[in-house]
């Protein structure tokens, strides 16, 4: 399944706020949400649980801008890593380069951050990196190419996100267009409201 490129508002109305996909908030009316909840309650328990797991999986996929194959790959890696599979999965996704750029405020969305990386505007530890899925590590330094066009793009994003707090595992030096990864992100600092255990359950039932 390819990466989603359709209407973003449609997705957040169904799944709730997805800050990585768009800064817009759901416009779903309370009466429509009530009908939707009543419909779910009328489903058999097994089917209702399946839809809950599916929704959580879709939240994760659309927020981080992943294909189905990419998300499955991350779930498998997390399952082979020491620790809680759900927490490790979130940490793997949060440490992607495109997400780090988004969380620093250098891009307003993860798709926007991915575009910066793909267009070769971003350097990690002084080396050009054009792979959005590049896994950042503690002490990595994220900088931009010293070009007017690059700086203008990022300055606009920094100005629009000035009210957003940079998470504790990152440091932003906006005047230098530079970010620092201080440590692996803690679960409570993940930028998405998600029940990651349901995502793990979803994939465990697909195999």
| Beta carbons of 48 and 130 less than 8 angstroms apart | no
Q: How far is CA 150 from the centre of its chain?
A: 22
Backbone angles phi, psi at 37, to 5 degrees: -65, -40
pLDDT digits (tens, 9 = 90+) for 33-92: 555 555 555 566 667 889 999 999 999 999 999 999 999 999 999 999 999 999 999 999
State pLDDT tens for residues 91-114: 999 999 999 999 999 999 999 999
Residue 4 has pLDDT above 70, yes or no: no
Q: Is 84 helix (H, G, I), strand (E, B) or coil?
A: coil
Strand partners, 171: 180
Domains of the chain as residue ranges with CATH: 8-92+193-204 (1.10.1050.10), 96-183 (3.10.290.10)
Query: Is residue 141 pLDDT above 60, yes or no?
Result: yes
Q: What is the pLDDT of residues 12-37, one digit of tens each?
A: 788 888 888 877 777 765 445 555 55
Helix (H/G/I), strand (E/B), else coil: 128? strand
CB-facing half-sphere around the CA of 110: CA atoms within 13 A? 27
Q: 51 is written with which tokens?
A: 């839809």
User: Which band of pLDDT confidence, cut at 50, 70 and 90, is reported for residue 6?
Assistant: low
């Amino acid at each position: 399944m390819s990466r989603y490129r359709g209407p973003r508002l449609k997705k957040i109305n169904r799944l709730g706020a997805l800050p990585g996909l768009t800064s817009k908030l759901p416009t779903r009316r309370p009466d429509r949400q009530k009908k939707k909840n009543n419909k779910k309650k009328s489903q058999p328990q097994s089917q209702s649980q399946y839809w809950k797991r599916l929704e959580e999986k879709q939240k994760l996929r659309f927020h981080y801008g992943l294909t189905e194959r990419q998300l499955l790959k991350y779930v498998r890696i997390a399952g082979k890593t020491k620790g809680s599979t759900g927490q490790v999965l979130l940490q793997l996704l949060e440490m992607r380069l495109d997400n780090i750029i988004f969380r620093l405020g250098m891009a307003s969305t993860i798709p926007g951050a991915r575009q910066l990386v793909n267009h070769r505007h971003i350097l990690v530890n002084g080396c050009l990196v054009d792979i959005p899925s590049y896994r950042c590590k503690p002490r990595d330094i994220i900088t931009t190419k010293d070009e007017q066009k690059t700086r203008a793009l990022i300055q606009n994003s920094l100005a629009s996100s000035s009210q957003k707090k940079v998470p504790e595992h990152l440091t932003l030096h906006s005047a230098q267009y530079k970010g620092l990864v201080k440590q692996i992100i803690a679960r409570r600092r993940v930028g998405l409201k998600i029940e990651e255990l349901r995502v793990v359950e979803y994939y465990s039932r697909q195999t």
